[in-house]
Amino acid sequence: MTALAFAPLVLSERVVADPPVVLAPMAGITNTAFRQLCREAMATRLDADQVGGLFVSEMITTRALVERNPKTLRLIRFAAHETPRSIQLYGVDPAVVGRAVQMIVDEDLADHVDLNFGCPVPKVTRKGGGSALPWRIGLFDDIVRAAVREARGAIPVTVKMRVGIDADHVTYLEAGLRAQDAGVAHVALHGRTAAQFYGGQADWSAIAALVDALDIPVLGNGDIWEADDALRMVRETGCAGVVVGRGCLGRPWLFADLAAAFAGRPERARPALGEVRATMRRHAQLLADWLGEERGVTDLRKHVAWYLKGFAVGGDLRRSMASASSLAELDDLLDGLDPAQPFPADVLGQPRGRTSGARAVSLPEGWLRDRESRAVPAGAETEHSGG
């Protein structure tokens, strides 16, 4: 395939993804430091006329945003070079979601809002949020319409969702049609149900079915571990672009591969451990710049196992790196890594991050009884829930 086979994803004059690649919002991961790391990697492989992908913030709770929770206000800060600025919002109350979008527009906090209807985590679904919410199609409709209305045409609104709650409660086609009628710019579909969590194999045929059902762009998500998986997803489903989540954990250079792949070029990054070491140090510095040194290095700990996956690194060194609390301490430990060790080819195409499989979905009492109910579950949103 050549670069001409892939049209840019254009949501507005200010919001363009070229190549049509989106960094998926991931709680605790896609902060400004990680977004910058992924942007930098993609920039190394862009053609001169390309602007890069879309890099979305981690999930922001609408109640916390409108109440100006300090943690949330820190999470929505973008670096000066971050354009376009994309925020993902989570909410269950249409009125609160509407106020959050109004605040974003009035205070110029972002250029694009994505609505989260895909999170399968029990603490979210048991309140009727995330991937549980589209089952209550009336409430879903109210939330999406409130967001689009309060965006007032100033910024595009998009939706990210899953196939449904489980195989008996599939929602993606009706939810996609409702979202399109409400005026969203695109819909992204993760090809799993909430019950599948992150296990098994994503159903790309559902993405293809949604492409056939909608007139607006559909983006595909699920099981993109390598750049060539993204190309295969586009070929098999006809989707307008891809959303990449767990595949880039510990591998921000995947975005360099995606830029090359969508441009029709064969080069792929296979960094030796020395290059990975430099990337880890860069990540730590970006986190330190954002959070302060101790908190930044502490935040890097969750990434250590992902960066070192497949490399021959002793358990003691891994554990020490996963408990470092200063840049100087981290530097000493990074010096213990063999820079010449080649990239472990056996991890290519392998799942990263969460891989836990099927489970019962936690839902509010009586959630499945009335699809058209517009009632907001009691206690669904709390101000202190932060990002």
Using the CB atoms, write b or e for 169-178: b if 16+ within 10 Å.
Answer: bbbbbbbbbb
Six-digit token string for 282: 């860069």
Q: Cβ atoms within 10 A of the Cβ of 235, count?
A: 11
At how many degrees (to 10) do helices 172-182 and 137-151 cross? Answer: 30
- Say whether 60 sits in a helix, a strand or coil: strand
Residue with tokens 């969508």: 262
SS (H, E, C) 352-365: CCCCCCCCCCCCCC
| 248 catalytically annotated | no
The alpha carbons of the chain give a radius of gyration, in whole angstroms, of 20
Six-digit token string for 135: 């089952």
Residue with tokens 């979601």: 97
Residue 243 has what DSSP assignment? E
- Say whether 29 sits in a helix, a strand or coil: coil
160 bridge partner residues? 116, 188
**Measured between alpha carbons, how far is 95 from 146 in angstroms, rounded to an integer?**
7
55 bridge partner residues? 23
Which stretches within the chain are classed as H helix?
32-43, 62-66, 70-75, 94-106, 122-125, 137-151, 172-182, 204-213, 227-237, 254-262, 273-291, 293-307, 315-321, 327-334
Q: How far apart are the first and last CA of the chain?
A: 39
Which residue out of 38, 119, 239, 248 is catalytically annotated?
119
Six-digit token string for 316: 């003691």
Pairing label, strands 54-61, 86-90: parallel
CA-closest candidate to residue 215, choices 247, 238, 248: 238
Catalytic residues: 119
